Structure formats: C-alpha cells, structure tokens
Structure 1
Amino acid sequence: MSLSPPRPSLPSLNALRAFEAAARHEGFVGAADELCVTAAAIAQQVRALEDWVGKPLFHRKARGLQLTSEARAMLPRLVAAFDALAGAAHGLRRHADRQEVQIAALPCVAQLWLSPRLGAMRKAFPNLAFSVVALENPPDFARDPFDFGLFFADADVPHCSTQTLVEDELFPVCAPQLLADREGSLDLAGLADMTLLHDARWRNDWARWLRHAGDRQVDARRGSTFSLYSMAVEAAIEEAGILIGHSSLLQAPLGDGRLLAPIDGAALRGPPLSLILPEGGRRDAGTEAVVAWLRETAPAPAGR
C-alpha cells in the first residue's frame, strides 16, 4: 500500500487562466482578446471553474461582470502565480539556443516601418528568424513571449523600458496630382473642398491638427475612414483625399514624391515611435544585437 496520498484534483490550467484574465479585464471580451479565443470559450471555462469551486465567481450584471468577494480575495494569488509561470517559461527560452526573435508591433508600424526593413535585418542576422505579430496595444511582456515591441509611446509601459527610435510629426499629406491646379500648395481655407481621410485608430488626428493650426472652420469629422492606416495612406497616394501623415511612417512616399506636405508649417509633435523592451534581463545576445541594429539604422523622420 502506498504511503503517499494522491494529489488532490485541481481545475484545468485553461479554466484558471480564463478566470484570471476575465477578472483582470472585468469581462469575457477583453479576456478573449488577450487569450486569442472567443468570449464564449472564456465563459465556458469560467463556468467549469465555478462548477469545481462550487459557487459563482462573478456577479453577472447588465453592464458587465463583478467579482464576488471570495474571487476578489483569490485573484492576487492567481495573478502572481501566472506571472511566476510566465517568468519561468521565459527563463527556459532565454537559456535555450534560440534562433528566433519575436516582435510585437502596432499594425501600421509593422506594415509601413518594419516591413521595409526586414530584408536588411535578415541579411544582417542570417542565423536568426523574425516573427512579427501586429497588435493594437503593447502586450503584457511579463507573460507574452515577445522579445520587444514597436509602438508609439510617450509614457512608460509597466515592467518595460521605453526608448525612442524615431520622433513623429503630424501634418497633412496628399498626392501631388491632387494639387495640380493649386501649384502644389494649399492653405487652411483650401481644406474646405477636399475629402479628409481618417484612420480608425487615429480618428482624432484631424481635429487635433486643426486645433493646433488654429482652424475653427473645417469639419474634422467628415470624409472617409479606414480600419488600417496603411489603407488610408494608399488612398491618399491614389488621390482619394488628404490625410494627416505621421512622418515616421511615411518616409518612403514622402521621399519619392508619391506624397507631399502641401501646407507649410504647423506640424504637430506626436508620441515617438519607440522600442519597448521587457525589464528583468530577458534579452538574449541575438535580441540585443537586433535592438542595437534598429537603434543605429532608424533614420530621422522624412523632411517636409
């Protein structure tokens, strides 16, 4: 007869992870986005955990979820446990002979800034593979297996260091052909009869720039909106209208003349394009070399 009693049964790790994410986000949708599953899958896992616990962990309300007092008391220990688990996993990767660098980037940065540089990066580091994931917001570097991120940031990211790669300026841009009858220039009054192009994420760019330029007449809400900034840039190149350009992303089309900045002066400084680096000594030699290469090769914003 064994003298060692069996370990007590535990709920599944997926159920615990789903609950922990839902508790932090105070909802299933945010947890689903974080874990790349559906909200229904999160709800199913949480229900399974509630069945194991024997009581509800959330109060289901019309405006979202509210933790029960018992669940709220348990949450900090779960958060700490998953952080410790992620730290151990990162440690395994750090000590392995790894040949991959994983990068998180804002979609427009991945498409317009990073993608044109990947060829040169591969040539500079032929023994490394590069994986790029486009995210709307910086990931949780304490848990997600990214080596660094590329985002517009003017504030600190928790548990990370932030280093400016390229300063960013905002100003209107359009195709030269759109101004064929205006001698290549435009004043604020001329915006009144032009189509304004918008990026959905940066929907307030026009309003911010017009306030900065001192205009109170142009309706910043009108025009066409695109879900991706790269689509808005392509529309501007194809003469569909005028867009608020981000200088750090438009070095190529401004440099080769596909786009121009028709209104002199009044550039608005925005958050810089930044390297976001996890703290805690997680970077291996390959990642350190790539980060140094990016710092050295990142050019200044395209001139106006």
Structure 2
Amino acid sequence: MPVAPPRPKDLPLTALRAFEAAARLNGFAAAAQELGVTPGAVTAHIKQLEQTLGAPLFTRTPRGVRLTTLGQQSLPQFTQAFDALGQAINDLRAAAAPRTVHIATLPAIAQLWLSPRLPALRAAAPDITVSITALEHPPNLKRSPYDLSLFFGPEPQGRLTPDTLFPVCAPSLAARLKTPQDIARFPCLSDATWSDDWQLWAQTLPDPPHIPQGPTFSLYALAVEECVNGAGLLIGHEALVANHLKDGRLVAPFPQRLTLPRGLRLWSDRPLRAGTAAKFVADWLRHRPADNAPLASPTPPATHP
C-alpha cells in the first residue's frame, strides 16, 4: 500500500510579497501603495503568514512596526527573489510585445511634456507603440510593468533638464505687471502637488511680494490652462510650460528665476539593450531629434526558439 504523508503547507506567495514590501519599505501603508492594495489587506496577509509560520515577523508598536530578528534575516533573500521574479516577468512581457514601450510618469509631465512629443516619435518609429501611465509617484521599476520612468527627482542619473521656476501669465495680464510687487493685486493660482512653489520663488527676492491665495487645482495642467485663460498668475515649471511660452499663450513677466536641486529625469532600473524599442524611445526622448540628427530605426530584438 503506497504511503501518502501529508504535504507541509506552502507559504502563500501573496503573503510573502506583502511581507517583503512592508519590510523593505518600513511600513504596511507604503507596501499597500506599491502593491496596489489596501493597508488592511497587507496586514491580513502578514498575519496569515505569521500564523502559518508560527512565529512573528514584525513587532507592533504605537509608532508602527519593526522587523523581528527572523524578519531581518529573511528580508534580503526575499528581496533578491522578488527582484529576479520581476525581471523575469518584464522580460516575458517584452518578448511577447517587443514593439511596445510602457512609460510611467507624473500626470503634468504626461500632458505638458511627453504628449506634445508623441507625434514626432510616432513619425520616427511608426512600428513602436508607446503606452503611458500617469502616476503620482515613481514606481519600483524592478517590480512594475514599466520600461521607463519620467519624473522630477534630485538624482543626476538620466536628467533631461533642470526644474526651473518662475511666474507666468497670459499676455493680457502681463501688460499690467511692472514689478514683482504687482503680484499682490492678482490671484495666484497653485497646484496641489507643488503647493509651495510660490513661496519657494518669492523667498529668492530681496523684497518678497505678498502672494494672494488663488484657486488650487488638483492637476497642474488644469492650472496652466486657467492661467492661459487669464485667471491669474501661476508658477511655471520651465520644462512644462516651454511650449506655451514659445507660442505666446503664456509669458514670463519677470526675469527672476529659481532652479531647484532636482530635474526632469528619464530612467530605467533595468539595462536597456541595444536594438530594443525601449532603448530607441529613451534615446529619442533624451536627444530630441528635432534638434539633432535623426536616430536610426531600432531593430527587433533577437528571439530564440
């Protein structure tokens, strides 16, 4: 008679993923944001894992959670394993759709910087499909299905241009502004993401003007459009309002500018292999073919049976 002993219970993959994310990011809420679930779901997964193991992975305190010795010992291997799994998944996606490039970026960058460049990019490489996802924060490219990330950040790697701030407004409003002190007579528009823009810029002046509180917009692109409509002044991010300044929809009424210790960055956490669509798109965006010699069309990556 064959022997069929009971098999030890496997540890659930979703619970292991929740543990690794919470341990690496130092919190359940941060892990939930990265995984796209609720903090309650992360808590439940980790509780299930601890019950299955019969040992705690986190110590709960009024100030949050802290890894136990067991959790600290286990984290490096799981981080390495999930990084490798993420790489394998992304390699599989790329092989299945080699002419599709996925870009994650801030909504304002997607609308004001990236979107105007897409027609020329399609003309340069009509066989490549560019998919854009607007996110509020840069994703973990080792774990998420994106090839490129386009956000403002302090790191020099992949920097396309500095982030320079200055007031902008419609030409009709600019005609009524002589000095920065005149700002006090008009509404100052703001954006919820960059709510401190006005103060950052004003503090660089010897005599900071009064900044009247104007409407606040949840999307920077909406604030830009209202600024074009003459609703008030807005702090322009040079990379995002360059087209509006070029065609005269907006003007910069004052010469004073502030360059922040960050810039618009385009990067990937994975090596971009020569000849791939992602490498072509990254190089095209970095070198701006309108100002440089056209880039050679990419060749399809080699496939293996």
> What range is the shorter-chain TM-score in?
0.7 to 0.9
- 2:258 aligns with one of 268, 274, 279: 268
Q: Which residue of 2 aligns with 1:231?
A: 222
For residues 54 and 63 of structure 2, the distance between their equivalents in structure 1, rounded to whole angstroms, comes to 25
1:165 is the counterpart of 2:160: yes
Aligned equivalents of 2:117 and 2:179: distance in 1? 35
Partner of 2:56: 56
Secondary structure of 2:140's aligned partner: coil
Instruction: Determine helix, strand or coil for the equivalent of 2:56.
Output: coil
CA contact under 8 A between 1:103 and 1:130: conserved in structure 2?
yes
Q: 2:106–2:150: 8 Å Cα contact kept in structure 1?
A: yes
Equivalent residues of 1:166, 1:298 under 8 A apart: no
Aligned to 2:195: 203
What residue number does 1:194 align with?
186
Decide whether aligned partners of structure 1 residues 282 and 81 sit closer, same or farther in structure 2, where only a CA change above 3 A counts.
farther
Identity of aligned pairs, percent?
A: 44
- 2:287 is the counterpart of 1:287: no
Contact 2:198 2:211 in 1 (8 A): no
Give the C-alpha shift of residue 138 in structure 1: 2.3
- Please tell me the residue identity of whatever aligns with 1:238: N
Number of residues of Structure 1 aligned to a counterpart in Structure 2? 290
* Equivalent residue, structure 2, for 1:159: none
Q: 8 Å contact 2:273–2:279 — kept in the other structure?
A: no
Equivalence for 2:303: none
Which has the larger displacement, 233-242 or 13-22? 233-242
Q: In the aligned structure 1, how far is the partner of 2:201 from the partner of 2:2?
A: 75
The equivalent position to 2:206 in structure 1, one of 187, 208, 214, is: 214
Please say if residues 198 and 226 of structure 1, whose CA atoms lie closer than 8 Å, have aligned partners that are also in contact: yes
What's the CA shift for 1:154?
3.2
- TM-score scaled to structure 1, two decimals? 0.85
Q: CA deviation at 1:285?
A: 1.5
Of residues 227, 232, 248, the one that matches 1:241 is 232
Do the aligned partners of 1:171 and 1:246 also contact (CA within 8 Å) in 2? Answer: yes
1: CA distance between counterparts of 2:51 and 2:32? 20
Shift in Å, 1:110: 0.8
* Structure 1 residue 219, shift from structure 2 partner: 4.5
The answer to whether the Cα contact below 8 Å between 1:91 and 1:282 also exists between their aligned partners in 2 is no
| Shift in CA distance, 154/71, structure 1 to aligned 2, threshold 3 Å | closer
**How far has the Cα of 1:168 moved from its partner?**
3.6
Specify whether residues 6 and 127 from structure 1 end up closer, same or farther in structure 2 by C-alpha distance, changes over 3 A only: farther
Q: How far off its partner does 1:254 sit?
A: 1.5
SS in 2 for 1:89: helix
Please, which of 140, 153, 173 is the counterpart of residue 178 of structure 1? Answer: 173
1:256 aligns with 2:251: no
Question: CA separation of 1:186/1:53 partners in 2, compared to 1, >3 Å: closer, same or farther?
Answer: farther
Give the superposition deviation at 1:125.
2.1
Partners of 1:175 and 1:195 in 2: CA distance: 13
SS at match of 1:212: coil
Could you say which residue in structure 1 is the equivalent of 2:300?
none
Equivalent position of 2:141 in the other structure: 141
**Partner amino acid for 2:256?**
A
For structure 1, which segment, 99-108 or 141-150, has the greater mean C-alpha deviation from structure 2 after superposition? Answer: 141-150
2:133 is aligned with what amino acid?
V
Gaps of 5+ in 1: 157-161
Shift of 1:121: 2.2
Q: Which amino acid aligns with 1:125?
A: A
Note closer, same or farther for the CA distance 1:73–1:147 as it changes in structure 2 (3 Å cut): same
CA apart distance, 1:92: 3.1
Residue 153 of structure 1: aligned partner: 153
1:272-303: CA deviation from partner (whole Å, max 9, x where unpaired)? 32221334355752112212222232779xxx
Once residues 2 and 215 of structure 1 are traced to their aligned partners in structure 2, the CA distance between those partners, rounded to angstroms, is: 89
SS in 2 for 1:249: helix
Q: TM-score, normalised by structure 2?
A: 0.84
1:268 positional shift: 1.4
Partner of 2:296: none
Task: Give me the whole-angstrom Cα distance separating, in 2, the residues matched to 1:186 and 1:298.
Answer: 38
